[in-house]
A and B are shown apart, each in its own frame.
Chain A
Amino acid sequence: MLNYPTELKYTKTHEWVKEEDGIFTIGLSDYAQDALGDIVFVNLPEVDDEVTAGETFSDVESVKAVSDVYSPVTGKVVEINEELLDNPAAINEDCYNAWLIKVADVTDTEELLDAEAYEQVCKEEE
């Protein structure tokens, strides 16, 4: 069973977001990692890069395919998860701990869904 923790928010493009003290942590949802299959490569932006809500900031490659990752917020990257560069499979193992980037100075956000609404989106895509 795919899992969507209720303490997180989600986008229709299958990213999760957690806000803590103005810092937005962004990762891939369980639905996304499951659909991609074994992830073998992650391209991340650099610290201090700007990201824009609704635009791609990363791509994730599985054995099967490449997939763009979209930013749910507009702001500045303050930290990237460098561990993923060496161990991209961590996203398959535990997608809610294997975050991609942390963003601060957020000026805009995409429409964010709660877990229940997001689960509905996933069901419709199946």
Chain B
Amino acid sequence: MDLKTPLYDIHVEEGGKIVPFAGYLLPVQYKTGVIKEHMAVREACGLFDVSHMGEVTFKGETALASLNHMLTNDFTNMNIGRVRYSVMCNENGGCVDDLIVYKFAEDYYFVVVNAANRHKDFAFMKEHVLPGTEIEDISDTLAQLALQGPKAYDIISKLLPDECIPKKNYTAIEKVVINGMDCMISFTGYTGEAGYEIYTAAENGEKLWRTLREAGEEFGLIPCGLGARDTLRLEAAMPLYGHEMDDVISPLETGLNFAVKMNKEDFVGKEALVNRGEPKITRVGLEVVDRGILREHQDIYVNDQKIGHTTSGTHCPYIKKAVAMALIDKEYSALDTIVEVDVRGKRIKAKVIPLPFYSRKK
């Protein structure tokens, strides 16, 4: 049975087209449609319900050691109020999930995981956690909203004093009060745009949504669904679990080297990553040369040789191009290489182009 997030009634009220996703009933789009929602985030601001995301707390004297043991990134020199991206590898060097870690005290970390992997992740964490760390899955107690776009600061500064707004990418403030509600806020997101992710108790979800909607009205804020979330992250070339990575694909193959600290003494999957050696495949960007649209899981050829497959693809509204991310043989990954993609039995030409497809002007 599909679950509802604390904001389900709001989505219906806002005219959301509800679909099942990762075990939750969520809006794929509102009345405005994916393209307008996508453009709002690039040019003004969008509001997303991301309450389906999973949250796990790590508490105790060995919390840091537990994270360093089970995740690929290194959290040793992390300051309080910082956020760090990581992969969690299995013993074979494949990805259990990708996630972000918030540090709120020397003995208190807050980890956000993909909704679809929540139960698998928690089981994996329980198996690998060190004595002296208490872990708890608190996903059901929280609502999470993402306020994303160039106007996000203008909107949030109507609701919070300046010292309560995180200013730098990947920073967080654990305790702020928005319209009487206790919230945690971070400068993070999954759109390639500046913005905030705000966590609050599940029962505050509806009120927080209405508060942000009202504050954002003068700045062109509109609600955005899963469709725009996917086109935005693809345009920004952010990997998505189940597409650019999975239980078999290694984080090095998908180009997440920055989050895999091979010089760290040890972590789950390190030995397998060493043994797998230098990756033979890599993640590239593709752009359709003539006409057509690429989708996920389409085979890629050079002459008659299969060299890989697409992992995500669509028509991206802001750059107005049909693009895809793909995992292909490194030999063919040079920019401007022409490949052919099998689109439902028809070969269409595509060109290797740089990632990301879009990056925000700073």
Contact = CB atoms under 8 A, between A and B. Distances in A.
9 contacts: A37-B34, A40-B35, A41-B315, A61-B293, A61-B315, A63-B34, A63-B35, A66-B295, A92-B33
B322 A63 contact: no
B293 A38 contact: no
Contacts of B81: none
Interface of A: 37-38, 40-41, 43, 59, 61-64, 66, 85, 92
A66 B293 contact: yes
Contacts of A41: 291-293, 315, 322
A38 B323 CA distance: 17
A43 B345 CA distance: 14
B295 A38 contact: no
Contacts of B291: 41, 85
Contacts of B295: 66
A64 B293 contact: no
B29 interface: yes
B227 A37 contact: yes
Contacts of B35: 38, 40, 63
B231 interface: yes
Given A37-B33, A85-B291, 18 more contacts: A37-B28, A40-B315, A41-B292, A41-B293, A41-B315, A41-B322, A43-B292, A59-B344, A62-B34, A63-B34, A63-B314, A63-B315, A63-B317, A64-B28, A64-B34, A64-B227, A66-B293, A66-B295
Interface string B336-353: 000000001000000000
Interface residues of B, number: 18
A87 to B, nearest CB: 13
A64 B316 CA distance: 11
A50 to B, nearest CB: 19
A37 B317 CA distance: 13
Contact of A37 (B29, B292, B293, B322): B29
Contacts of A85: 291
Contacts of B17: 37
A100 to B, nearest CB: 16
Nearest to A88: B315
5 nearest interchain CB pairs?
A40-B315, A63-B34, A38-B35, A61-B293, A38-B33
Interface string B179-223: 000000000000000000000000000000000000000000000
Interface string B287-307: 000011101000000000000
Contacts of A40: 35, 293, 315, 322
A85 B38 CA distance: 22
Contacts of B28: 37, 64
Contacts of B38: 63
Interface in B10-29: 17, 28-29
Interface in B219-272: 227, 231
Contacts of A38: 33-35, 317
Contacts of A64: 28-29, 34, 227, 314
Nearest to B231: A63
